[in-house]
Structure 1
């Protein structure tokens, strides 16, 4: 691993339980299977804005996220870095390259401090081969990612840029946001270019839509931050015509 990543002694934390979402890999496993998985590899802390995996690289280790957030980006044809997804504690990243041995399909970068378990490809594959419940859980998370990508494409069909952005924001706050009264807060840095990439929109279109959302009392924007003041208003913008 990179020299500036600080390793913690021993990877295993028997009986460790965090507030992992049930839909995540770790949140969906029982205590015994979770302990087996977390006994693999090495625990590593990463600083903010650290590239953990780079698109097209031939590395094949897997990272099981324990705490913090990472963003997954891909290099678009117009030379932009498009934000593809966000992953949080409980999720796994890098499993595609571990399974098929192909180059990395995307770049993974930390959004703030991240604690993860780094597992070699050999150990990861051996575990999924020998432990059927863990293998099933990994397969379930892969399918969930593919379903999410399909839903993302379907939801965008025939929508204008403002509606696409509203649906992106709604998904982000419902999945990764911290509820606060009638709204929610995204407590990790996200830029307008990244929002534009997720919404398949131009930056001027995103800026115009955000001004409209602010005028409607749906969101408040700051430097690399977004607060949803009213989830109901944002939902109306995103899905009101359904």
Structure 2
């Protein structure tokens, strides 16, 4: 059950701001305010479904507060995780573009996650009327294709240990604050989440991370994972990728 509308009192007469949405940065603040007024706003608890896989809706979702995860489930119930989208991100644009059912589900990662739902038709009108926004959308979709291609290659050619190493390197570079040849990942990745990302089991991830720690790549501290010798880890990942 969702947390309801954020407009539950007189003090909340204005819709939330979309100023933090990266894709909309080319719009003026007046234009962003008009888009915000067109949105349906809703808060979600951690684990609650924002968008259903195979659903026929075509709304585009602006993540204003909190974070969401894009996931899919096999017929056996196994979770495959594609991406975590923090505040400032957008999900659901593919269905708005092609009118097809959702290709994945979207779930809230944090209680209090605030989503602005913009209808697919309004989103298409917005993009066709603003070339810089359309270009930002194309760049985002191109980035998604590149990431998916890389994951397909990894899943097709690498063993479980190499896939986990590759994912740790990606997190270290994308989420961690890189300092010289080390990086810090906060919070410490959950084994089940890593397993869903790289197509293996939680037990296998635990074993591989233990091996990486013994080899000097990882160090667990309070609330964070320190990745040592990024150059060596990058070289190892690139070597097995060929």
TM-score range, shorter chain: 0.7 to 0.9
- Distance in 1 between the 2:33 and 2:194 partners? 33
Could you say what secondary structure the match of 1:72 adopts?
strand
Residue 11 in structure 1 maps to residue 15 in structure 2: yes
Change (3 A) 1:179 1:11: same
Higher strand fraction: Structure 1 or Structure 2? 1
Q: CA deviation at 1:141?
A: 0.9
The aligned counterpart of 1:207 is: 206
CA distance in 2, matches of 1:35, 1:141: 24
TM-score, with structure 1 as normaliser:
0.79
Distance in 2, matches of 1:197 and 1:118, equals 27
For 1:145, the equivalent position in structure 2 comes to: 144
Secondary structure at the counterpart of residue 157 of structure 2: coil
- Which one has the largest radius of gyration? 2
2:152 & 2:33 partners in 1: Cα distance? Answer: 34
In the TM superposition, residue 192 of structure 1 has moved relative to its aligned partner by: 2.1
TM-superposed CA distance for 1:217, in Å, is 3.3
Aligned counterparts of 1:93 and 1:38: Cα–Cα separation in 2: 19
Aligned residues: 229
Tell me the residue number matched to 2:114.
115
Q: Mark the CA change 1:79 to 1:103 in structure 2 (over 3 Å): closer, same or farther.
A: same
Whether the 8 Å contact between 2:58 and 2:92 is mirrored in structure 1 is yes
| In structure 2, distance between residues paired with 1:210 and 1:38 | 46
Question: How far apart in 1 are the matches of 2:227 and 2:170?
Answer: 15
Match of 1:185 in 2: 185
Any idea what the Cα deviations from partners look like across 1:107-154, whole Å, max 9, x if unmatched?
A: 111222433332122211211122222122112211211111012222
After the TM superposition, which residues 148-227 of structure 1 pair with which residues of structure 2 at under 5 Å, given as runs? 148-175=147-174, 177-179=175-177, 181=179, 182-187=182-187, 190-220=189-219, 227=225
Greater helix proportion: 2
Query: Gaps (5+ residues) in structure 1?
Result: none
5+ long unaligned stretches in structure 2: 8-12
